[in-house]
Chain A
Amino acid sequence: MSPKRRLFQLGLGRPGSRRTVDWEIEHHLAEQTDILVGEGWDPEAAREEAERRFGSLPRHRRQLVGMERRRRVVRRSVEWKEAVGSMFVHAARSIVRSPGLAAAVVIMLGLGIGVNTVMFGVIDRLLLKPPAHVEDADEVRRILVHGTLFGGERTIPALTYPDVEDLRSIPEFASVGAVSSAQEQTLGRGPDAMRVKAARATFDFFTTLGVTPRLGRFFAQDDDQIGAEATLVMSEEYWNRAFGGDVGILGRTVEINGNPFTVIGIAPRGFTGMDLTPVDVWLAALPAEFIRRGSDSFLTARGSYWLASVVRMADGASSEVAESKATALHLGGRADRIEEGRFNPETYVLTAPLIQARGPTASSTSRTALWLGGVSLIVLLIACANVANLLLTQASRKRQETAVRLSLGSSRPRLVGEMILGGFLLSSLGGLAALALTHAGGRVVQTLLPDVLWSGTMVSGRTIGITLLLTIAASLLAGLGPAIQSTRPDLAKELKEGGREGTHRRSRIRTTLTVAQAAMSVVLLVGAGLFLQSLKEVRSLDLGLDTDRLILAILETHGEELEAPERNLLYEDAMSRVAGMPGVAGVAVTDVPFQWYMRTNLRLPGVDSLPIPRGVGPLYYSVTPEYLNVLGLELIRGRTIEETDQDGTPLVAVVNETMARAFWPESDALGECFYFNGGESCTRVVGVVENSSVGDIDGSQWLTYYLPIAQTGFGAQGMYIRAEDDVDRVAASIAPTLRSFSPQIRYADIEPLHETLAPQSRSWTMGATLFSVLGLLALLVATVGLYSILAFDVLQRTREIGIRTALGAERSRVLKGVMADGGRIAVLGCLLGLMVAFLAAPFLEPLLFNVQGRDPWVLSGVGLVILAVASLSSLPPALRATRVDPVVALKEE
Chain B
Amino acid sequence: MTGPSLNPVSGTLELLILRTLGTGSELHGFAILEWIKRSTEGELIVEDGALYHALHRMEKRGLIGSEWGVSEKGRRARYYRISKAGKGVLAEEEERWSRYVEAVAKIAPCDAEG
The chain A residues found within 8 Å of chain B, CB to CB, are: 2-8, 15, 20, 23-25, 27-28, 30-32, 34, 53-57, 59-60, 63-64, 67-68, 70-71, 74
User: In the complex, what's the smallest C-beta–C-beta distance from A426 to chain B, in angstroms?
Assistant: 37
Asked if B2 lies at the interface with its beta carbon under 8 angstroms from chain A, I say no
Complex interface: chain B residues within 8 A of A24 (CB)? 29, 52, 77-78
- Out of B25, B56, B75, name the residue touching A67 (CB < 8 Å): B56
By beta carbon, the residue of chain B nearest A30 is: B75
Residues of B within 8 A of A6 (CB): 67-69
B106 at the interface (CB under 8 A from A): no
| A-facing residues in B47-82 (Cβ within 8 Å) | 47-50, 52-53, 56-57, 59-60, 67-73, 75-79
A353 to B82, CA, bound (A): 74
Residue pair B60, A23 in contact (C-beta under 8 Å): no
Cβ-defined contact, A2 with B25, below 8 A: yes
Supply 26 A–B pairs (Cβ within 8 Å), ascending by A.
A2-B27, A3-B71, A4-B28, A4-B71, A4-B77, A15-B68, A23-B68, A23-B76, A24-B77, A24-B78, A25-B49, A27-B28, A27-B76, A27-B78, A28-B48, A31-B28, A53-B47, A54-B47, A54-B49, A55-B47, A55-B48, A59-B49, A60-B49, A67-B53, A67-B56, A70-B60
**Bound CA span A64–B50, Å:** 10
B26 on interface, CB distance cutoff 8 Å: yes
Contacts of B60 in A (CB 8 A): 67, 70-71, 74
B97 within 8 Å of A by Cβ? Answer: no
A54 to chain B: which residues have CB within 8 Å? Answer: 47-49
Size of the chain B interface, CB-CB below 8 angstroms? 30
Interchain CB contact under 8 A, B72 and A55: no
Asked if B53 contacts A20 (CB within 8 A), the reply is: no
Q: How far is the CA of A53 from the CA of B46 in the complex (A)?
A: 9
Contact indicator B75/A4 (Cβ below 8 Å): no
- Inter-subunit contact A27/B48 (CB<8 Å): no
Instruction: Please judge, given known A-B contacts A3-B72, A28-B48, A71-B59, whether A63 and B25 are in contact too, CB under 8 Å.
Output: no
Closest chain B residue, CB of each to CB of A66: B56
Which residue on chain B has the smallest CB distance to residue A3? B72
With a CB–CB cut-off of 8 A, which chain A residues contact B31? Answer: 31
- Assembled-state Cα–Cα distance A7/B67 (Å): 9
B52, A64: Cβ atoms closer than 8 Å: yes
A27 touches B70 (CB 8 A): no
Which residues of chain B come closer than 8 Å to A55, judged between CB atoms?
47-50
Alpha-carbon distance A31/B35, docked complex (angstroms): 14
Q: 1/0 contact trace for B21-40 toward A, CB 8 Å?
A: 00001111111010000000
A6 vs B30: C-alpha distance in the bound complex, in angstroms? 18
Closest to B72 in A: A3
Q: How far is the CA of A56 from the CA of B67 in the complex (A)?
A: 25
In the bound complex, how far is the Cα of B53 from the Cα of A573, in angstroms? Answer: 113
Instruction: Kindly list 6 other residue pairs between chains A and B, CB separation below 8 angstroms, not including A4-B69, A54-B48.
Output: A6-B68, A25-B52, A31-B73, A60-B52, A64-B49, A67-B57
Chain B residues within CB distance 8 Å of chain A = 25-31, 33, 47-50, 52-53, 56-57, 59-60, 67-73, 75-79
Contact, CB under 8 Å: A27 / B26? no
- Which of A2, A57, A60 has a CB less than 8 Å from the CB of B26? A2
Q: Considering the chains assembled together, what is the distance between the CA atoms of A57 and B48 in angstroms?
A: 10
Which of A15, A27, A59, A63 has a CB less than 8 Å from the CB of B77? A27
Alpha-carbon distance A3/B47, docked complex (angstroms): 27
Residues of chain A within 8 A of B72, CB atoms compared: 3-4
Complex formed: what's the CA distance from A57 to B69 in Å? 23
**In the bound complex, CA of A59 to CA of B53 (Å):** 11
Inter-chain contact B53/A7, CB cutoff 8 Å: no
Q: Which residue of B lies closest to A27 (CB)?
A: B77
- Known contacts A27-B30, A28-B29, A71-B60: A56-B75 contact under CB 8 Å: no
Query: Within the assembled complex, what's the spacing in Å between the Cα atoms of A24 and B77?
Result: 6
Which residues of chain B are near A3, meaning CB under 8 Å? 71-72
Closest partner residue, chain B, to A24 (CB atom) = B78
How many Å from the CB of B10 to the closest CB on chain A? Answer: 13
Min Cβ gap A82→B in Å is 14
Assess whether A60 is in contact with B53, with CB atoms less than 8 Å apart.
Answer: yes
- The complex places the Cα of A24 from the Cα of B57 at a distance, in Å, of 15
**Roughly how many angstroms separate A656 CA and B53 CA in the complex, as a whole number?**
103
CB of A600, distance to nearest CB on chain B (Å)? 97
* CB-defined contacts of A2 to chain B, threshold 8 Å: 25-27, 69, 79
Q: Which residues of A contact B75 (CB under 8 A)?
A: 27, 30-31
The residues of B that contact A71 with a CB separation of less than 8 Å are: 56, 59-60
Which residue on A lies nearest to B57, using beta carbons?
Answer: A67
Contact: B48 with A53, CB < 8 Å? yes
B57 touches A7 (CB 8 A): no
- Provide the bound-state CA to CA distance between A24 and B48, in Å: 12
Give which listed residue, B48, B49, B56, B79, contacts A4 with CB less than 8 A.
B79
Which 10 pairs between the two chains have the least Cβ-Cβ distance?
Answer: A4-B69, A55-B47, A60-B49, A55-B49, A2-B26, A31-B30, A54-B48, A7-B68, A71-B60, A3-B72
